[in-house]
Structure 1
């Protein structure tokens, strides 16, 4: 079950600075890009040049990530995904944004669904890149990909061997095994190194609670409550999120379509940015 956190920013809080908000593009429609766990807004850079031609593009970093204001971090708030959802709500309110296109990578898809449930007027369309409402193997109906004990061990590794944790996770996120449709090996290695740097450049004080909220949560019950048109973009070979999870999510959402892209890895917006862009354009135009 989700919980509603009240927005109580300090009167002197500069939301734009706090979340390192950047706005570009000249389109009449606004699109908000929300990065995944361990990442930052820079991961959207492969798509931004195309998006700027058609949208006003808004990017940000969650508090505790990227170039956000780490002094604004509140331990109790960011132990739950609702705390990150509140970042989005406050950004939208601060910029007076409503009826926007929301794009979330990975766990930001779930964070977006939380926002949509609490403040449905903020979004018109929702695009999820490699989403998962739960990473845990729960029962025969739902296999999220990981046993709870394995996820507990992975998170504990963050305290014991932070670099080792990153070295384990980064190649899995990018996709180890390249196929002909993937970028070449040098480019793939570059993405792995970028993710590893991103994972390990943030103090475990901030990244571990986000990891726990990401990998140990279960928001499957939220899916049927979402009424927005939703596009799910799924890799055909994703070590973190199997295609079956995408199919499950599509079935539980009220108004959604699933597009499976022939690709390896969990970062379609980085490895296949034009595929993601074209699907977004088509989805919005045909709705």
Structure 2
């Protein structure tokens, strides 16, 4: 238990019988939830963690072999659930964590109550009959930039992903998060993220899910959210007014309101 909690820098805060497990996206860590956490601390037990390679996780635990697919990260989520003996968890995942949480819920459906997916995508690459938002050459260029000029990639990607140009401090905050990561691990995580394809698993997932789709998202187009909703059973779709890919940072009040509404929906214990 201690090894798992240290490995992923696990923190437990808040009070309540129901547990919310927050999982950050690529290039971030658990601190990115700071703007919405106060709204839930009084009613819920909150579990925060950093994926290995991010934040204050134990970098010594990282191996390319384990984390060459999202299932390596999925196993870490299950390890945390087992270590804390969590049950009926509401998993709140941002971006790639949405698919990690879905895979974990398929592995142990009895441990999960609901999934909240913020900016999710089952596949980022375009395919025949599917619009994911990126062509292969886009991803190849991004990965090459990360390898050749990591700081340059961070300064380029942060404002593009945040997409709130009238609030430059948000992009600067995201850029600092990007640049704080280990460049080699971040590049491998990026490749795993952008090359993943979990469309085939969607019909097999059974845990109810909320799909929070942001408007004008340069990372996950609206077509992706609609695709997810069509293929994911027991899913609820909400198109947000929030622009960009990080609504929990740029539009915390709307993010809180949408999550609260879903948590209060009938059928949740």
| TM-score for both structures, normalised by structure 1 | 0.90
Take 2:45 and 2:77, find their aligned partners in 1: how far apart are those partners?
Answer: 16
Match of 2:161 in 1: 173
In the alignment, structure 1 residue 189 sits paired with structure 2 residue 177: no
Take 2:261 and 2:243, find their aligned partners in 1: how far apart are those partners?
Answer: 23
Q: How does 1:203-282 map onto structure 2 within 5 Å? A: 203-282=182-261
Q: How does 1:61-210 map onto structure 2 within 5 Å? A: 61-140=50-129, 142-177=130-165, 185=166, 188-210=167-189
Instruction: Say whether the 8 Å CA contact 1:235–1:243 is kept in structure 2.
Output: yes
Take 1:220 and 1:226, find their aligned partners in 2: how far apart are those partners?
Answer: 11
Take 2:195 and 2:164, find their aligned partners in 1: how far apart are those partners?
Answer: 24
> How many residues are treated as equivalent by the alignment?
266
Match of 1:52 in 2: 41
| TM-score for both structures, normalised by structure 2 | 0.96
Give the CA deviation at 1:286: 1.5
Give the CA deviation at 1:176: 4.5
SS at match of 1:269: helix
1:219-238 Cα deviation digits (max 9, x unpaired): 11111111111101111111
Take 1:196 and 1:272, find their aligned partners in 2: how far apart are those partners?
Answer: 18
SS at match of 1:286: coil
Give the CA deviation at 1:284: 2.1
1:199-247 Cα deviation digits (max 9, x unpaired): 1121222111100111111111111111111101111111111111100
Instruction: Say whether the 8 Å CA contact 1:27–1:54 is kept in structure 2.
Output: yes
Instruction: Say whether the 8 Å CA contact 1:226–1:253 is kept in structure 2.
Output: yes
SS at match of 2:210: strand
Match of 1:8 in 2: none
SS at match of 2:126: coil
- Larger displacement relative to structure 2 (161-170 or 38-47): 161-170
Match of 1:7 in 2: none
Instruction: Say whether the 8 Å CA contact 1:234–1:258 is kept in structure 2.
Output: yes
1:256-279 Cα deviation digits (max 9, x unpaired): 111011121000111122222222
Q: Please list every run of 5 or more consecutive structure 1 residues that lacks an aligned counterpart in the other structure.
A: 1-11, 178-184
1:63-86 Cα deviation digits (max 9, x unpaired): 100010111112211111111111
Match of 2:13 in 1: 24
Instruction: Say whether the 8 Å CA contact 2:147–2:183 is kept in structure 1.
Output: yes
Instruction: Say whether the 8 Å CA contact 2:164–2:170 is kept in structure 1.
Output: no
